Each structure stands twice: as C-alpha cells, then as structure tokens.
C-alpha cells in the first residue's frame, strides 16, 4: 500500500466496471479518490458504495454526479474534490459508452453524436477541468481508449472514430504538458468482463445462432479473437496497467499507448 501514498486521483465513469476497479486499486495503494459518474439514482447508490469501499481501505473519497458532456458540471465536481482532498496527482479519464452498433451508413445521427459527445467531448472536458487542478509538481493523465484504434470490427465506426480521436488527444497532450512534468498516456483494453461486453444485446450479436445466448455461449467466439486462450480480460488487468501509469514507477513514461487485450490486436484473422 505504498505505490500511491497520499496521492489524489480523479476517476470518471467510476461507478462500475473498469472505473470502479481503478478506484479500488489506486486506493489499495494509498491514493485518495475523487469519483465521478453520470447523475441518477443508480449512480448515486453505486458511488456511495464505492466511497464506502475506499474508506474501508483507510483512504478518503469524494464522489460527485456529473455528466461529462457538461464542462461546468465536470469542473464543479473536480473543484469539489480538490477543495476537500487537495491538488490532483492523477487523472483517469475513463468514462465512455459503446452505443447501438450497426453499419456506418445505418447508424442514427443521434447515436453518432452521442458517441462523439460522451467519448470525445467528455474526455476533453475532463482533462480541461482537471489539468488546472493538477499538482504543481506534475502528475499523470491516463486516457481510456480501446483496441478499436488498431483493430476495429464492422458495426462500430462511431466507437472506433471516437476512440481514435481521444488517442490523438492523448498524444497531443503529452507534447503540450511534458514541460510541466505531466505525463499523458492512453490505455487500450480489448474485450473486458464488464457490462459493456457482458450483456444480452452483445451476446445476441455474437451468437445469432443461439436462442437467449449466455456468457458461456459467446466465450468461444471471443477467445477465437485473442492470442492467449481467454475470451476477455478482467477489470483488474486494466486497473493494474492504470496503477503502473499512475505511479512513480512510470515517471519517465509519456505518450505511450498501453494495450491490455490478451493479444486481440495482434491476432491475425
């Protein structure tokens, strides 16, 4: 519990999945947590549970509901966390969505715009609000991208376009913020065992030949896409990568695109 001692980490999309795993993992290593997720009763309950888990680890937690598409809301959430916990040392811009899939020319305009608004503008808003609150000594910004930047699949042009955009944002930020000792890297998960993958809609899309398919039914399909004999990675595998990039162990690592995907991006079809 020493790799993040007394550091303050902001995490968006923190109520479940990768975001929650990152919050717990960083807290386990000594960080105080500012956890942000979208407004709503479900988020309130999940953020409250997360805060309790962080405090049980002996660390402080501030939670806030904010739609990352709203710059003022994100700025207010960040400031509330900093006012209580002090300057940020780490920013994990994790919040994102995979919206209704389909051929590029059939995707509804509102679906396309929502994907860009949440994944791209939301990430930009998060970084814009957080950079002003980073520790003067420097810090680490980690942007959650995807292997969709290097190996996409039909039906996901909105998601692929958004994730490529924020990867470019991360690369530019690394150049802009380096002189302030702020490192900027992106993490690129493949399939992860979270609700984004483990849901009935995705199961049905992957196994149209099966009535009411389950995770067990789709596991062989996804395992066929990776080099290692697993269908997906777990959230902890991604949060371990985030921990490395957040900690001083990566003090001279910036501009990196760190892939955590069991070899999905390298698998030759």
Q: How far apart are CA 51 and CA 43, in angstroms?
A: 12
> Is 159 in the active site?
yes
Which residue is catalytic, options 124, 159, 203, 232?
A: 159
The single-letter DSSP state of residue 99 is -
Give dist(CA 214, CA 238) in Å, integer.
24
Name the one residue in this structure whose structure tokens are 């196994």.
207
Contact predicate 226/261, CB 8 Å: yes
Question: Which residues lie below 8 Å from residue 174, measured CB to CB, with a gap of 6+?
Answer: 183, 184, 185, 254, 255
User: How many whole angstroms separate alpha carbon 187 and alpha carbon 40?
Assistant: 28
Report yes or no: 185 and 257 within 8 Å, Cβ to Cβ: yes
Separation of alpha carbons 12 and 63, rounded Å: 10
When computed from its CA atoms, the radius of gyration of the chain, rounded to whole angstroms, is: 18
**Virtual torsion, Cα 9, 15, 16, 20, nearest 10 deg:** 20
Residue 29 near residue 3 (C-beta atoms within 8 A)? yes
DSSP alpha helix (H) spans, the chain:
17-28, 41-56, 71-85, 109-116, 122-131, 157-177, 200-206, 215-223, 235-246
Residues marked active site are found at: 159
């Amino acid at each position: 519990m020493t790799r993040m001692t007394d550091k303050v980490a902001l995490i968006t999309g923190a109520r479940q999945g990768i975001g929650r795993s990152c919050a717990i993992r960083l807290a386990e290593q000594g960080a105080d947590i500012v956890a942000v997720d979208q407004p709503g009763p479900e988020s309130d309950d999940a953020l409250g549970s997360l805060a309790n888990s962080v405090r049980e680890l002996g660390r402080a937690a501030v939670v806030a509901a904010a739609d990352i598409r709203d710059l003022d809301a994100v700025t207010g959430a960040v400031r509330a966390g900093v006012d209580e916990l002090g300057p940020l040392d780490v920013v994990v811009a994790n919040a994102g969505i995979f919206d209704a899939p389909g051929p590029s020319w059939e995707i509804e305009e509102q679906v396309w715009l929502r994907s860009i608004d949440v994944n791209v503008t939301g990430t930009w808003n998060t970084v814009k609000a957080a950079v002003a609150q980073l520790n003067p000594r420097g810090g680490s910004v980690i942007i959650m991208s995807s292997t969709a930047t290097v190996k996409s699949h039909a039906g996901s042009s909105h998601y692929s376009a958004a994730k490529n955009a924020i990867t470019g944002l991360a690369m530019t930020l690394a150049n802009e913020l380096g002189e302030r000792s702020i490192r900027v890297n992106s993490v690129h998960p493949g399939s992860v065992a979270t609700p984004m993958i483990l849901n009935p809609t995705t199961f049905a899309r992957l196994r149209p030949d099966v009535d009411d398919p389950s995770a067990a039914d789709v596991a062989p399909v996804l395992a066929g896409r990776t080099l290692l004999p697993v269908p997906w990675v777990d959230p902890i595998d991604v949060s371990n990568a985030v921990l490395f990039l957040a900690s001083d162990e990566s003090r001279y690592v910036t501009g990196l695109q760190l892939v955590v995907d069991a070899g999905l991006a390298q698998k030759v079809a």
